[in-house]
Amino acid sequence: MPRPPQIDWPRVAAALAAAIPRERLHPAVNARTAEAGEASGRGWGVAFSGGGDSLALLLLVWAHWPERRDKLTAMHFDHRLRGRESAADATFCRKVCDALGVRYVEGAWAEARKGASEAEAREARFRFFERELGRRRMRTLWFGHQQDDIAETLLMRLARGSGTAGLGAPRPVQAMPGGRVHLRPLLTMKKDALLDALRKAGAVWREDASNGTADYFRNRIRREVMPAWVLAATDRDALAGAALSRELLDEDDAALEAWVDALAPLSADGSRLDVKILHGKPRAVVRRALHRWLGAQADTGDLSRQGFEALLAAVERGGFTRFSLGRSGFAVIRKGVLQFERLPAAKRTGRAN
């Protein structure tokens, strides 16, 4: 049986870039890459699974930013959940990178097991990304999310009751701890259009067979809900509508964060929350200020949604409150100020009352 012809990946990248010019990428990403910090010569990481989205991403970054080719690192993570298929994915990714002259690194999930959750797999993948970025002193990581991902994420997060911060994801430019940033330039495109452009450019890619199963929530949304939802929209472009909603929710989220910043209800070290400043403000503002205060406290444990709502109501009332935060101590509102009062070590053996 004759071997399939070798693919000229630089030629494919050029053809894809002609079909998807840089102006079609998300404007926030284009603006970010023009900033002084991104133009300084630091390396860029590209998440590369071998699927159509991530392949298009790698080819477009390689083609549209030729001055950064020697500073690109493609990062491939093997979840070790698909046996030989996973190994073939890695081989494919390595060959593409060799043809483009792109540095390639791969990692594998040592703790992989059958029945692992989506969240566990995602956490393992992101630990790998963070480790490799740190080793190479890179701050920028590119992802191939597109408009179908926006709609899937929106539907998934609606099911768990997310607010604007969660519904505004995935963001084109996402600030991360330590000065790092995640970039998603393909959020302006639908998956079908992206894959069609890849085919016309002469590309092939890897298909993850596990995406066709009903094992994970995202897969069930993708296979069962999305087609019916898009069809039900009839004369509306449901995917473009979801992308627009994401943009608007992200804007609202940024406005609320800016409002909390302007009020400055937290002390410099985050230990105190001035409840008086928040009196009469919209609940969304008070909620965010309280989230910030809780995030600044150490060893408070996870507060349930019901517990958070009860504490939020106490902050809105503003009177004296002593609210249990589990074994470690209490949230106390006294004289219009919320603070954390830690239990003495000898009393932490039992649950606080």
| DSSP per-residue string spanning 199-236 | HHHT------GGGGSSSSHHHHIIIIIHHHHHHHTTTS
CB 186 within 8 A of CB 194: yes
CA distance 152 to 219: 9
Task: Name the CA dihedral angle for 254, 259, 260, 264, rounded to a multiple of 10 degrees.
Answer: 140
pLDDT classification of 109: cutoffs 50, 70, 90: confident
Span 198-218, average pLDDT: 85
Predicted confidence at residue 352, as pLDDT, reads 39
What separation in angstroms does the CA of 288 have from each of 140, 204, 275?
27, 46, 13
Q: At residue 267, what is the residue type?
A: S
Contact assessment for residue 104 and residue 93, using Cβ atoms and an 8 Å cutoff: yes
- What are the structure tokens assigned to 110, written together? 């040592």
Q: Whose CA is closest to 45, among 146, 126, 133, 109?
A: 133
| Mean pLDDT on 279-307 | 91
For the chain, the first-to-last Cα distance in angstroms comes to 75
pTM exceeds cut of 0.85: yes
Q: Mean pLDDT over residues 176-187, rounded?
A: 95
Element (H, E) at 261: helix 238-263
Cβ contacts of 243-252, under 8 Å, gap ≥ 24: 243/147, 243/150, 243/151, 243/187, 243/188, 245/154, 245/167, 246/150, 246/154, 246/167, 246/168, 246/169, 246/170, 246/187, 249/164, 249/167, 249/168, 250/164, 250/168, 250/171, 252/164, 252/168
User: Which of 14, 62, 4, 5 has its CA nearest to residue 201?
Assistant: 14
| Cβ–Cβ under 8 Å, residues 84 and 141 | no
pLDDT of residue 347: 57
Burial class (CB in 10 A: 0-12, 13-18, 19+), 265: buried
253 Cβ contact list (under 8 Å, min separation 6)? 163, 164, 165, 168
Residue 127 predicted with pLDDT over 90: yes
Residue-level pLDDT at 56: 98
Higher pLDDT, 41 or 327: 327
Mean confidence (pLDDT) of the chain = 91
The answer to whether 141 touches 129, Cβ cutoff 8 Å, is: yes
More confident residue, 216 or 353: 216
pLDDT band at 348, cuts 50/70/90? low
Find which of 100-114, 150-164, 200-214, 318-332 is predicted with most confidence, using mean pLDDT: 150-164
Mean pLDDT of 37-45: 76
Domains belonging to the chain, first-starting first, are 9-245 (3.40.50.620), 264-347 (1.20.59)
The DSSP string of 58-102 is HHHHHHH-GGGGGGEEEEEEE-S-STHHHHHHHHHHHHHHHHHT-
Average pLDDT over residues 268-278: 97
Confidence of residue 244 (pLDDT cuts 50, 70, 90): very high
Q: How confident is the model at residue 110 (pLDDT cuts 50, 70, 90)?
A: confident
What whole-number percentage of the chain has pLDDT above 90?
Answer: 77
Predicted local confidence at residue 351, as pLDDT: 47
Q: For position 215, what pLDDT does the model report?
A: 77
Residue 81's pLDDT band, with cuts at 50, 70 and 90, is low
- Please give the pLDDT value at position 216: 83
139-151: per-residue pLDDT in tens? Answer: 999 999 999 999 9
CA distance 230 to 211: 19
Interatomic CA distance for residues 297 and 308, integer angstroms: 14
Nearest to 73 by CA among 89, 53, 58: 58
- Interatomic CA distance for residues 273 and 318, integer angstroms: 11
Q: Is the pLDDT of residue 83 over 90?
A: no
Res 3 pLDDT > 80: no
Give the confidence band of 345 by pLDDT, cuts at 50, 70, 90. Answer: low
Which amino acid is it at 284?
A
pLDDT reading at 70 higher than 60: yes
Q: Quick one: tokens of 9? A: 């990946």
- Per-residue pLDDT, averaged over 297-319, amounts to 89
